[in-house]
Structure 1
Amino acid sequence: MRDQFHGPVTRYDKQDDDFATQADIGSERTILDVLRAARPGDRFLAEESGDSGGASDRTWLIDPLCGTRNFAAETPLVAVNIALRVGDRVAAAVVADPFASEIFWTVGEGAFVRREGQDHRLAPESRSRLVEIDADNPSPFTDWFSPARFMGDPAFATAFYPRVLSTSLALTWVATGRRAAYIVDRDLRDDVHFAAGTALCRAAGCVVTGLTGQPLHTPPHGLLAAADPTDHARLLEIITARR
Structure 2
Amino acid sequence: MGDLIRVAHLLADAARPATLEHFRSTGLEADNKRPADFDPVTEGDRAAERAMRDVLAAERPDDAIIGEEYGTKEGTSGLTWVLDPIDGTRGYLSGTPTWGVLIAAGPQSGPVVGIIDQPYIGERFIGAPNHATVTGPHGTGALRTRAARPLSQSILFTTFPEVGSDAERAAFDAVADQAQLVRYGCDCYAYALLAAGQIDLVIEAGLNSYDIQAPIAVIQAAGGIVTDWDGNPVHNGGRVIAAANRDIHQQAMEILRSKMR
TM class, shorter-length: 0.7 to 0.9
Question: 1:109 Cα deviation (Å)?
Answer: 2.8
Report matched runs for 1:1-243 at 5 Å. 1-7=19-25, 8-16=27-35, 17-116=38-137, 118-125=139-146, 129-135=154-160, 144-146=167-169, 149-150=170-171, 152-153=173-174, 156-165=176-185, 167-186=187-206, 188=208, 191-216=209-234, 221-243=238-260
> Is the CA contact (8 Å cut-off) linking 2:156 and 2:179 kept in structure 1?
no
Measured against aligned partners, the alpha-carbon deviations of 1:72-114 in whole angstroms (never above 9, x if no partner) come to 1112210100101223231211110112211111232331111
Shift of 1:166: 5.2
Measure how far apart 1:229 and its partner are.
2.3
What is the identity, as a one-letter code, of the residue corresponding to 2:30? R
**1:226 is aligned with what amino acid?**
A
- Aligned AA for 1:81? L
Give yes or no for contact 1:67–1:167 (8 Å, CA) kept in 2: yes
Aligned partners of 1:236 and 1:110: how far apart in 2?
27
More helix by share: 2
- Cα distance change on mapping 1:69 and 1:156 into 2, 3 Å: closer
Task: Decide whether aligned partners of structure 1 residues 222 and 125 sit closer, same or farther in structure 2, where only a CA change above 3 A counts.
Answer: same
Q: Secondary structure at the match of 1:89?
A: coil
Alpha-carbon distance change, 187 to 114 in structure 1, aligned in 2, over 3 angstroms: closer
Q: How many residues align?
A: 235
Residues 236, 195 of structure 1: alpha-carbon distance in 2 compared, 3 angstrom cutoff: same
Q: Residue 151 of structure 1: CA displacement?
A: 5.4
What is the rounded CA distance, in whole Å, between the counterparts of 1:103 and 1:225 in structure 2?
Answer: 19
Matches of 1:97 and 1:218, distance apart in 2: 23
1:187–1:30: structure 2 CA closer, same or farther, 3 Å change rule? Answer: closer
The percent of aligned pairs where both chains have the same amino acid is 26
Gaps of 5+ in 2: 1-18
For 1:116 and 1:81, the matched residues in 2 are separated by: 20
Cα distance in 1, alignment partners of residues 61 and 176 from structure 2:
48
Code of the residue aligned with 2:257 in structure 1: it is: T
| Corresponding residue SS for 2:112 | strand
**Letter paired with 1:67:** G
